[in-house]
């Protein structure tokens, strides 16, 4: 019998470290996690056995057993689920395959309070055993396999795996309790923990020959029989999370297609919401038999924060991966779920404004993906969307924006960028602020995409303020507009012509601007060209390469500097040409971009500053 000693994956090591030093106050949740794993293993085997009945080896009744050995100070959680072979033990209990794990582990700080909050979002599963155990021994035999294996570890960096004896298929997880954890040797205490956390598990959990839990699928029970805590624990089980559900939807769809849904919207944003591997993950059951938790057809990616169960009466039990695709029943279930969830969100938005805004803050960026992925739900989603804007510190709806539009205003203005503070200070906003025109501050990467896909709302076009050619002339500035040099507008035609010649290919054009009040210059995308922020974003993600498209440099004819330069030309001086590249770089910096040649920029700036000081 060969024993293999291995180190845990680095990330697991760090999580185990947290567990060993017991960051959690309610350590008892280890039992929920282990029972949850055992139940999942039974569910998976039940499904596999539909196609391969021989896997059951005649034992088709699934169950979980808890055994206590007071003398040895151990408790064991034993299931007859699908079990694990050597490779699965190593892979499943030595690494975490979940996406975003490395990023998660890196964000752990050693600050117990913060880390508890983080790990709550991540979920710890099996490793929580080490909160109460100084040693864990897992003996497992995979369904259909002849040999069993034993995995053992004290949670301090290494584990061993070797061959072992086990009569039947399934897994036994034995915990050697730490000093001071004797409460978990008391059957009454264990029963209470199972009742609290695992009552909803559809597989019976037995202690000393007695079934402790309700052992019927929670979603099949009438709503009136279910306590809020039971919903919460079920959510934690299916969602592998520790937080509270923000929204619980339990319903039965009746009619041509019948199914039951028990869906949850989490309170906090899961760790890997934006990880590329993150998939929509509802559990699909057919007539109470677990089929899969990987059916992307069941729910669109833009609702991937949903957790829960859908149980269909109409799908066949022997449903293969291929059959899931383009299955008309599944498609109708999906559309039904989408309608129901959006309808419920609408109600929440009306009934609980603040709660809804917290939800939007966490999941709005995901929902907005639906704006370009599912045109059929566009209207509903636009009503649900909330925005930051220059008009208030809070959130606004599009309807609210439209209500506040000024006379003569025809478009919905927005600026896209990452950072709120930088956005609010952008030169692009000056002319809008001066005219008290509200501008939406779009800060999510998806915004550029849906805005161009959606185009308009309520007949009003979405227009980026970083775009040239917006005619603000029809709307008069409001009185307190800060205007340099007493509002005198200089004739800058000669300056514009000189800049064009000097800057040449570096810009697409040079123009005087209505849209600036405080800044001397800005860069805009020419009409018909790609928005500046969108281009920067696509470039960062490698979606476009090559030279940046050329932009239009706008000069503010009311700014002292621009006026001074115009005067210097009239006086026959030649300083304006030398300063043209400096002004262009300045406009780039205001966009959050780097000067083309930072060293040359620094030299030019130093020269210009020196020239502005008294000589001698
Ligand atoms: P999670 O359950 O979130 O995937 P865990 O760390 O709890 O993470 O478990 C890791 C994996 O180990 C599970 O996904 C499963 O494949 C396997 N596993 C854990 N417990 C059992 C069990 N009792 N029977 C079979 N497989 C198990």
List the one residue out of 550, 552, 485, 549 whose CA is nearest residue 515. 552
Number of the ligand 1 atom closest to the C-alpha atom of 77: 23
Residue keyed to tokens 């045109």 = 375
Alpha-carbon distance of 288 to 369, in angstroms, equals 32
> What pLDDT, in 10s, does the model give residues 334-357?
999 999 999 999 999 999 999 999
Residue 278 has a pLDDT of 72
Torsion sign over Cα 505, 509, 512, 516:
negative
- Averaged pLDDT of the chain: 89
Alpha-carbon distance of 14 to 156, in angstroms, equals 10
Antiparallel, parallel or unpaired: β 170-177 and 133-141? antiparallel
Lowest-confidence pick of 120-124, 200-204, 307-311: 120-124
Residue 210 has a pLDDT of 95
Q: Is the CB of 80 under 6 A from ligand 1?
A: no
Residue 160 has a pLDDT of 97
Backbone angles phi, psi at 415, to 5 degrees: -130, 135
Mean pLDDT along residues 269-273: 80
Residue 212 has a pLDDT of 95
**From 8, 66, 92, mutation site for ligand 1 pocket: most ligand atoms within 8 A of C-beta:** 92
Confidence of residue 479 (pLDDT cuts 50, 70, 90): low
List the one residue out of 522, 502, 507 whose CA is nearest residue 592. 522
Alpha-carbon distance of 565 to 492, in angstroms, equals 9
pLDDT of residue 381 exceeding 70, the answer is yes
Contact 282, 310 (CB under 8 A): yes
Number of the ligand 1 atom closest to the C-alpha atom of 82: 25
Alpha-carbon distance of 569 to 438, in angstroms, equals 37
Distances (CA, A) of 114 to 24, 107, 448: 11, 10, 33
> What pLDDT, in 10s, does the model give residues 559-597?
999 999 999 999 988 889 999 999 999 999 988 888 989
Mean pLDDT along residues 133-162: 96
Q: How far is the CA of 453 from the centre of ligand 1 (A)?
A: 42
Lowest-confidence pick of 72-76, 93-97, 406-410, 433-437: 93-97
Q: Is the CB of 170 under 6 A from ligand 1?
A: no
Q: How far is the CA of 554 from the centre of ligand 1 (A)?
A: 60
Q: Is the CB of 470 under 6 A from ligand 1?
A: no
Mean pLDDT along residues 206-233: 94
Number of the ligand 1 atom closest to the C-alpha atom of 173: 23
pLDDT of residue 199 exceeding 50, the answer is yes
The dihedral over CA atoms of 6, 9, 10, 14, expressed in degrees to the nearest 10, equals: -100
Number of the ligand 1 atom closest to the C-alpha atom of 98: 4
Residue 420 has a pLDDT of 64
Token pair recorded at residue 563: 């006026």
Residue 471 has a pLDDT of 78
Residue 322 has a pLDDT of 76
Edge-to-edge strand ranges of the sheet holding 259-266:
245-253, 259-266, 307-312, 283-286, 289-292
pLDDT of residue 599 exceeding 90, the answer is yes
Confidence of residue 486 (pLDDT cuts 50, 70, 90): very low
Number of the ligand 1 atom closest to the C-alpha atom of 170: 24
DSSP 119-132: HHHH--GGGGGGGT
Lowest-confidence pick of 114-123, 327-336, 394-403: 114-123
Torsion sign over Cα 32, 38, 40, 42:
negative
pLDDT of residue 168 exceeding 60, the answer is yes
pLDDT of residue 483 exceeding 60, the answer is no
> What pLDDT, in 10s, does the model give residues 5-46?
999 998 888 888 888 876 667 789 899 899 999 999 999 999
Q: Which stretch, 149-153, 254-258, 492-496, has highest mean pLDDT?
A: 149-153
Residue 557 has a pLDDT of 93
Q: Is the CB of 414 under 6 A from ligand 1?
A: no
Confidence of residue 459 (pLDDT cuts 50, 70, 90): very high
Q: Is the CB of 171 under 6 A from ligand 1?
A: yes
Nearest CA to ligand 1 atom 18: 37
Q: Could you tell me where the beta strands, DSSP code E, fall in 419-530?
A: 439-442, 456-457, 460-464, 509-512, 521-524
Confidence of residue 485 (pLDDT cuts 50, 70, 90): very low
Backbone angles phi, psi at 576, to 5 degrees: -60, -40
Q: Is the CB of 41 under 6 A from ligand 1?
A: yes
pLDDT of residue 487 exceeding 60, the answer is no
Nearest CA to ligand 1 atom 9: 126
Torsion sign over Cα 527, 529, 530, 531:
negative
Q: How far is the CA of 549 from the centre of ligand 1 (A)?
A: 51
- pTM attached to this predicted model: 0.81
Looking at per-residue pLDDT, the higher value among 535 and 278 belongs to: 535
pLDDT of residue 248 exceeding 50, the answer is yes
pLDDT of residue 234 exceeding 60, the answer is yes
Nearest CA to ligand 1 atom 22: 38
Residue 484 has a pLDDT of 47
pLDDT of residue 1 exceeding 60, the answer is no
**54 Cβ contact list (under 8 Å, min separation 6):** 144
Q: Is 384 helix (H, G, I), strand (E, B) or coil?
A: helix
Residue 507 has a pLDDT of 94
Mean pLDDT along residues 96-108: 77
Antiparallel, parallel or unpaired: β 64-69 and 74-79? antiparallel
Antiparallel, parallel or unpaired: β 148-153 and 64-69? unpaired
Q: How far is the CA of 288 from the centre of ligand 1 (A)?
A: 21
Q: Is the CB of 81 under 6 A from ligand 1?
A: yes
List the one residue out of 188, 184, 218 whose CA is nearest residue 200. 218
Residue 536 has a pLDDT of 81
Alpha-carbon distance of 599 to 597, in angstroms, equals 6
> What pLDDT, in 10s, does the model give residues 523-569?
999 888 888 888 888 887 788 777 778 899 999 999 999 999 999 99
Residue keyed to tokens 């567990």 = 19
Alpha-carbon distance of 297 to 29, in angstroms, equals 33
Q: How far is the CA of 126 from the centre of ligand 1 (A)?
A: 6
> What pLDDT, in 10s, does the model give residues 447-456?
989 998 999 9
Q: Is the CB of 39 under 6 A from ligand 1?
A: no
Lowest-confidence pick of 106-115, 408-417, 506-515: 106-115
Q: Which stretch, 189-198, 473-482, 606-615, has highest mean pLDDT?
A: 189-198
Looking at per-residue pLDDT, the higher value among 373 and 278 belongs to: 373
Alpha-carbon distance of 496 to 576, in angstroms, equals 10
Q: How far is the CA of 4 from the centre of ligand 1 (A)?
A: 20
Residue keyed to tokens 């227009």 = 463
């Amino acid at each position: 019998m060969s024993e293999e000693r291995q180190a845990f994956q680095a990330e697991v090591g760090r999580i185990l470290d947290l567990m060993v030093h017991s960051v959690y106050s309610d350590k008892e949740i280890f039992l929920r996690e282990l029972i949850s794993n055992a139940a999942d293993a039974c569910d998976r085997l039940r499904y596999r056995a539909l196609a391969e009945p021989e896997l059951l080896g005649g034992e088709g009744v699934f169950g979980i057993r808890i055994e206590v050995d007071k003398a040895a100070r151990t408790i064991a959680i034993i299931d007859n689920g699908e079990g694990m072979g050597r490779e699965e033990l190593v892979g499943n209990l030595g690494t975490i395959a979940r996406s975003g794990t490395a990023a998660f582990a890196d964000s752990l700080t050693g600050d117990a309070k913060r880390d508890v909050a983080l790990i709550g979002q991540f979920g710890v599963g099996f490793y929580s055993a080490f909160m109460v155990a100084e040693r864990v021994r897992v003996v497992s035999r995979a369904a259909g396999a002849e040999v069993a294996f034993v995995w053992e570890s004290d949670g301090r960096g290494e584990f061993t795996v070797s061959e072992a004896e086990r009569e039947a298929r399934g897994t036994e997880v034995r915990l050697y309790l730490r000093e001071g954890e004797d409460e978990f040797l008391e059957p009454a205490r264990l029963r209470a923990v199972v009742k609290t956390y695992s009552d909803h598990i559809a597989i019976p959990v037995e202690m000393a020959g007695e079934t402790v839990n309700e052992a019927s699928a929670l979603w099949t029970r009438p709503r009136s029989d279910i306590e809020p805590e039971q919903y919460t624990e079920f959510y934690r089980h299916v969602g592998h999370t520790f937080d509270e559900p923000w929204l619980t939807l339990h319903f039965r769809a009746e009619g041509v297609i019948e199914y039951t849904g028990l869906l949850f919207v989490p309170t906090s944003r899961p760790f890997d919401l934006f990880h590329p591997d993150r998939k929509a993950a509802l559990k699909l059951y057919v007539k109470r038999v677990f089929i899969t938790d990987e059916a992307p057809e069941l729910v669109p990616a833009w609702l991937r924060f949903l957790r829960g169960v859908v149980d269909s009466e109409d799908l066949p039990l022997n449903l293969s991966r291929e059959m899931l695709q383009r299955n008309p029943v599944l498609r109708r279930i999906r559309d039904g779920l989408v309608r129901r969830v959006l309808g419920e969100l609408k109600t929440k938005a009306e009934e609980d404004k603040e709660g809804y805004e917290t939800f939007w803050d966490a999941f709005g960026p995901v929902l907005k993906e639906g704006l370009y992925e599912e045109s059929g739900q566009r209207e509903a989603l636009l009503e649900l969307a909330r925005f930051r804007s220059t008009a208030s510190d809070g959130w606004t709806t599009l309807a609210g924006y439209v209500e506040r539009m000024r006379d003569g205003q025809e478009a919905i203005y927005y600026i896209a960028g990452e950072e709120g503070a930088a956005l609010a200070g952008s030169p692009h906003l000056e002319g809008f602020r001066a005219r008290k025109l509200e501008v939406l501050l779009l800060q999510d990467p998806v915004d550029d995409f849906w805005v161009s896909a959606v185009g308009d709302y309520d007949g009003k076009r979405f227009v980026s303020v970083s775009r040239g050619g917006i005619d603000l002339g029809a709307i008069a500035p409001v009185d307190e507009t800060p205007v340099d040099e007493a509002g005198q507008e200089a004739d800058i035609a000669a300056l514009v012509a000189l800049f064009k010649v000097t800057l040449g290919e570096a810009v697409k054009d040079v123009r005087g601007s209505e849209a600036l009040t405080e800044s001397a210059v800005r860069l805009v995308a020419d009409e018909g060209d790609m928005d500046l922020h969108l281009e920067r974003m696509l470039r960062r993600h490698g979606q476009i390469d090559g030279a940046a498209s050329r932009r239009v440099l706008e000069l503010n004819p009311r700014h002292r500097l621009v006026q001074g330069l115009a005067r210097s030309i009239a006086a026959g001086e030649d300083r304006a040409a030398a300063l043209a590249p400096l002004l262009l770089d300045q406009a780039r910096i205001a966009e959050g971009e780097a000067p083309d040649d930072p060293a040359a920029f620094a030299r030019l700036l130093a020269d210009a500053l020196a020239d502005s000081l008294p000589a001698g």
